[in-house]
Structure 1
């Protein structure tokens, strides 16, 4: 679905009572073809002679019948019934059985093969036809035919329903290694394992074949048709080999590729977080295909995640974490396809901490009714154990792997550290200078002495961005250049969205109404906090990724959204920021000498620095007010005083910046609000302030209360008002189906950032109101994820998406006996500071200091593994930069050829029943003892 579907729950959102039923799109009518039903029963190996739709037969609304009914005629079914199950026959043999012309039978058999209801191949130089099983088999073949999907979309619904309707009956029935599909570990994850077997090496299957093709993924195809896509797209994902490849190529399902292309596809899949699976019905060490699967779209993987039936698809391996090496950076957790990994706590605690997350109640020795299923698995992903994890990662709005990049920096791996930061934040050098450091405020080390200087470490790492010789342009993950995205606004949200969409290879144009890029980064933040060449350097990286920037273009005035739509733009990300000031609404506000803080800073950054004389009053208590006050000092004001409503302990400005302002002579006056401005001859003379008793009401809404009788009059030569920012929309959203809040921010979905008009997404200050750069950066990434899904048909904006819910560990209960006692390192002020007082003369930690400071990190977090849920795909190992997670062989199970499965499954079912009965007896005995 490419429209507004933020609350769409998908097929797994059905009520429990409907989970074992086929779901139909509105208007579908069953045709009741008895011959087609007999064919369905034959493929499903039902007893011969059963009444179609009766007892012992498939029912008319079963997925097996529905997927055939769509495109198989009675005449086709009649011919198909001559094939039997897993029996290869020629057209001549079928013609003899039917008493019909061979050419007629050949033509109909080819129709069946093209549709997907049988296969065709060559044996001894002659075409043979046969049927196999439903999955892996005919359902994929039917869905993999693009013409079927166009003409009969119902087949996608049938394939999705098959595993959901039949899956419950197979839970616990298959021993390890004997499922219909099987995970094959990423080969690099098992290199050097002394117990490895060649049937679990993906290269074995490639090297044993000479004919290959690639097709769209059938699972993602049916998810797309149903509007349930997870953002992992279907194109060029499934590899067929040998006779399967010949069949796929011959019937137009796939394109032939070389062996080298096979390895390229496998590599690309691994790099993008996908895992390998094979059809497991050809016997041990044999297969005809390799799938590249995601846990949120693959119907085979649903077996593990929805039913907890992991044994049916797992490899022989499970992931193991070396806690000493693990830094809880989260890359393994976020890339685990089955959510078997979660972040926990490494430090000791005086309170209970979740240590083992391995699922203990499983289908191995428990009955597994619908009540134990997890139909909402695509929206219920968890990243953190109940007792929490690292406070720094939790409290960072972008959830950067802070502990991870600190460890990499300690090892001198600065480029790798930068790469890790850039997973979430494409503006690290900017943030190293202006971030409000919520990570440091939450740092566990702060409980002992002082927090780790996280931002200074990041600033050091990001210096590589500023040197063109060391600058690295990130490699693109995909190529979607045929999709055009317009981004309005080049502030941190817009730049972040552009970066992450550029990673996926989209054609991106950023429209900026100012002549200079960067939004408030360049216009609203003074250079003594953020030099403009720092912003420019990071923008150049984004430009190097292919993003086009068009400055001096105001969307809504110079060009409209409708005109951009006409030019082929598929979606819009609106991130214009809050670049206007707010008025006080008091008497005398229009007098000469009253300035807006935003305009004051904008003028300075544009090179128009006023010369202030006498006394300057700055009204406001946020970071912008601090910037204004410090800028006023640099504009030669004789005395600069700040007045704000808030008390010192609840001022919105950061503590560090408040202290820096006071060091520069700014006088801070808390608990005062402006009552009126006194003027003389039309010019400001003084400000009368009244005592503020409280700022917020009981619901923490802004509702200041004053003592009107407690007032002071303060002389002033100029007053700079910095009490908030406003959004200047102009004609940007004229005619758009977009609603606004009272403060003129856009109303949009809090998770997907989609506005009331489906193709318009928003982020940054124009959505949230004025916040910090890191908040806008985090919003930009999420906006990019939503846009990626929106511009591709059939993708849900929410299903299979990480909601990134983190919780921090209990710092008060942490027990730390052994730690590095080195004090927090502080960068020196640059001695050769420019004579320009607006120059940033803050220094950077040197390499020796970096070594000392990174050693101060306590390493709070660690990854935990659910060894039952782990399918042994190895994806986690490819994302770990610390050699902290490995695959270890736990099982020694091989596959079994499909026709040999029944006795194996039967024996396993009998043993399971014994386990369940024995466990019930033990539980009853324990209950009686109590």
Structure 2
């Protein structure tokens, strides 16, 4: 009996020693954070996160292979708790949603007959697919089969349709799509995405400086989904009311409808139609925002670039404060564009909607005078955006241009926009051929000036102003004096303007801009009988903000006095300073400034998150065109006339500053939207007009 007990004890001791040794030799350490993280996950083991279960997801989080918000079912509180366990920040914790970027489907032509497996992966392996379009949807529904939440289906036109209410953003569809047509993204990722060479883009969208998805919003208008159209536009452009009135719509120059038909789709009028529908509805559409990040950004300048940058930064969760030198926000939209083109009440309504996102602002404060870079950095701002515009007018540098009765274009328009009293005479000459010059002559007409000349050193063909504005000025009685170069201002006995002497010109060889250079004709001096002269020949930024002896003095400028930035990220040589708009590019279109503000917001967002401030991994399109998308003919398009823009009769509009250009009526807007061919890179609908009838 004793022997048995001793044997058992000995055997137990041997086993204990063996187990002790084994535990040392075969010891597997499990990070205690894994259990803590798993305890905060949903415990559903649904696989929606892309991992086998919650345990696998927790291991991925601890190993740095998945973010704290990997679980599609938990709320922000648990995400923040997981982030705290990992010693990191939760980030925006935005929900992921699936998006289909192809609306071509069956429209794309086939290169060959495919008789293999009915799977996207299979057909993609054979020369990239059977269709001519190399990036478009293959239509066999691998993504639909992969979705465990019944959030996808192949629509009647042969491309997947996403049910956003059912989509949980698990990414299963994205992982199986061989063409990257299905993408799972957060709202912030979509807002800050820049066009790339391999995106599914129509020529008009490739041309738009704001990169608006034009075919999508025009289709939404055609289908009566006006709110959705506004949301689509606002995903790229927060100033749709203003742009719908003042944008020269470069997108329309590349509209495929105009290749075979007489005129392009009236894209900009449709944008204004949708925007005005919201404004006149008596309610504002809700604008979603990401959760606060706690980061602060100072936006210097409340013009279109600054407002755009502030809007996108706020939507992705950053706190923004705008500092504006003028009495009100708006920049050139308010002080450089006359009331008859952009009513101040409309601009106020649009800016109010942007500020309602929770953006602070201060007006009548000028950088370098009321505050400086040091006060912004010391005040806790993590990054600074410079949207200072180009407010300094060029001078003619001719004798007499400082006499009483002489103005510069922006100063003149700013004074009018600020409702200041401006003393003008009865006969005026405006010098220049751009939009500012046209705005000046049309403003003078409305102020009751008896005779208004526009003096330009080239011909009408070379005028950079919008053609529709030139035509309107002609109708309103402006007299154009072409091939005329101002030589000096004639002075009267009271040191005031008594006339403008100019030299007649003739066109020589083309200059660097491609336009023929004007050459003076000797002995051709001619005098215009005027008592008011406005010079509108261009602007440059005012660089007074570069206070000597400060870090701001280190900010690199170009030879044109614009802020030198990386064009893809808008970052300057001072890492936390970004810039866009006229202050970085020189005078350009409003829509250019808006696009620049969004691009800068993307760069700032990367900087604030501690990521490399670089362009996207894929090659940026940067307003270039995808060669295969530029057609020379578009077979099968039925003829359809463009709806003319309604406008006030000349005799009604020239006696006041009431808005001259009106909005399309709803039936006309629907018919005009029906002219859109719903293009992408290669495919289009041959005749949408018949479908819309």
The DSSP-based 3-state class of the residue aligned with 2:96 is helix
Match of 1:815 in 2: 634
Query: Does structure 1 conserve the Cα–Cα contact (< 8 Å) formed by 2:195 and 2:206?
Result: no
- The offset of 1:510, in angstroms, is 0.5
**Residues 213/812 of structure 1: CA separation in 2 closer, same or farther (3 Å cut):** closer
The DSSP-based 3-state class of the residue aligned with 2:534 is strand
The DSSP-based 3-state class of the residue aligned with 1:814 is coil
Match of 1:457 in 2: 270
5 Å-filtered alignment, 1:492-511, equals 492-511=304-323
- Take 1:489 and 1:801, find their aligned partners in 2: how far apart are those partners? 31
- Take 1:701 and 1:217, find their aligned partners in 2: how far apart are those partners? 60
Match of 2:208 among 396, 402, 405: 396
- The offset of 1:446, in angstroms, is 2.5
The DSSP-based 3-state class of the residue aligned with 1:642 is strand
Match of 1:603 among 399, 403, 415: 415
Match of 2:544 in 1: 730
5 Å-filtered alignment, 1:37-76, equals none
The DSSP-based 3-state class of the residue aligned with 1:795 is coil
- Take 2:653 and 2:15, find their aligned partners in 1: how far apart are those partners? 93
Query: Does structure 1 conserve the Cα–Cα contact (< 8 Å) formed by 2:387 and 2:579?
Result: yes
- The offset of 1:742, in angstroms, is 2.1
Match of 2:198 in 1: 383
The DSSP-based 3-state class of the residue aligned with 1:202 is coil
Match of 1:477 in 2: 290
Query: Does structure 2 conserve the Cα–Cα contact (< 8 Å) formed by 1:617 and 1:643?
Result: yes
**Residues 98/219 of structure 1: CA separation in 2 closer, same or farther (3 Å cut):** closer
Higher relative contact order (CA 8 A, sep 6+): 1
Match of 1:684 among 461, 486, 497: 497
- The offset of 1:772, in angstroms, is 0.7
1:729-752 Cα distance to aligned partner (Å, 9 max, x none) = 323565222111222101111111
The DSSP-based 3-state class of the residue aligned with 1:558 is coil
Match of 1:310 in 2: none
- Take 1:761 and 1:273, find their aligned partners in 2: how far apart are those partners? 32
The DSSP-based 3-state class of the residue aligned with 1:268 is coil
- The offset of 1:316, in angstroms, is 6.2
1:788-811 Cα distance to aligned partner (Å, 9 max, x none) = 000112334235366235436666
Match of 1:654 in 2: 466
Query: Does structure 1 conserve the Cα–Cα contact (< 8 Å) formed by 2:143 and 2:174?
Result: no
1:756 matched to 2:673? The reply is: no
- The offset of 1:691, in angstroms, is 3.5
1:331-364 Cα distance to aligned partner (Å, 9 max, x none) = 9xxx978893579xxxxxxxxxxxxxxxxxxxxx
- Take 1:327 and 1:696, find their aligned partners in 2: how far apart are those partners? 55
The DSSP-based 3-state class of the residue aligned with 2:30 is helix
- Take 1:542 and 1:647, find their aligned partners in 2: how far apart are those partners? 41
5 Å-filtered alignment, 1:247-646, equals 253=86, 268-270=95-97, 324=157, 340-341=179-180, 382-384=197-199, 390-447=202-259, 448-467=261-280, 469-480=282-293, 482-610=294-422, 612-646=424-458
- The offset of 1:571, in angstroms, is 0.4
Query: Does structure 1 conserve the Cα–Cα contact (< 8 Å) formed by 2:62 and 2:86?
Result: no
- The offset of 1:315, in angstroms, is 9.8
- The offset of 1:209, in angstroms, is 6.8
Match of 1:772 among 586, 589, 604: 589
- Take 1:252 and 1:590, find their aligned partners in 2: how far apart are those partners? 69
Match of 2:18 in 1: 96
The DSSP-based 3-state class of the residue aligned with 1:747 is coil
Query: Does structure 1 conserve the Cα–Cα contact (< 8 Å) formed by 2:441 and 2:452?
Result: yes
Give the length in aligned residue pairs: 585
- Take 1:271 and 1:691, find their aligned partners in 2: how far apart are those partners? 63
Query: Does structure 2 conserve the Cα–Cα contact (< 8 Å) formed by 1:618 and 1:641?
Result: yes
**Residues 715/835 of structure 1: CA separation in 2 closer, same or farther (3 Å cut):** closer
**Residues 771/254 of structure 1: CA separation in 2 closer, same or farther (3 Å cut):** closer
5 Å-filtered alignment, 1:187-198, equals none
Query: Does structure 1 conserve the Cα–Cα contact (< 8 Å) formed by 2:492 and 2:498?
Result: yes
Query: Does structure 2 conserve the Cα–Cα contact (< 8 Å) formed by 1:327 and 1:862?
Result: no
- Take 1:553 and 1:93, find their aligned partners in 2: how far apart are those partners? 82
Query: Does structure 2 conserve the Cα–Cα contact (< 8 Å) formed by 1:611 and 1:636?
Result: no
1:842 matched to 2:675? The reply is: no
**Residues 465/120 of structure 1: CA separation in 2 closer, same or farther (3 Å cut):** closer
1:790 matched to 2:604? The reply is: no
- Take 1:96 and 1:665, find their aligned partners in 2: how far apart are those partners? 106
- The offset of 1:500, in angstroms, is 0.5
**Residues 732/415 of structure 1: CA separation in 2 closer, same or farther (3 Å cut):** farther
- The offset of 1:677, in angstroms, is 1.9
- The offset of 1:217, in angstroms, is 7.9
- The offset of 1:327, in angstroms, is 13
Structure 1 alignment gaps of length 5 or more: 1-91, 122-140, 145-197, 222-233, 258-263, 275-312, 344-377, 865-930
Match of 2:562 among 741, 745, 750: 745
**Residues 695/854 of structure 1: CA separation in 2 closer, same or farther (3 Å cut):** farther
- Take 1:323 and 1:808, find their aligned partners in 2: how far apart are those partners? 29
**Residues 846/273 of structure 1: CA separation in 2 closer, same or farther (3 Å cut):** closer
**Residues 679/379 of structure 1: CA separation in 2 closer, same or farther (3 Å cut):** closer
Match of 2:533 in 1: 719
Query: Does structure 2 conserve the Cα–Cα contact (< 8 Å) formed by 1:459 and 1:844?
Result: yes
- Take 1:851 and 1:240, find their aligned partners in 2: how far apart are those partners? 41
The DSSP-based 3-state class of the residue aligned with 1:817 is coil
| TM-score normalised over the length of structure 2 | 0.74
The DSSP-based 3-state class of the residue aligned with 2:365 is coil
The DSSP-based 3-state class of the residue aligned with 1:815 is coil
- Take 2:315 and 2:391, find their aligned partners in 1: how far apart are those partners? 28
- The offset of 1:98, in angstroms, is 5.7
The DSSP-based 3-state class of the residue aligned with 1:861 is coil
RMSD across aligned C-alpha pairs, in angstroms?
A: 4.4
Query: Does structure 2 conserve the Cα–Cα contact (< 8 Å) formed by 1:326 and 1:862?
Result: no
**Residues 209/399 of structure 1: CA separation in 2 closer, same or farther (3 Å cut):** closer
Match of 2:670 in 1: 851
- Take 1:516 and 1:537, find their aligned partners in 2: how far apart are those partners? 13
Match of 1:114 in 2: 31
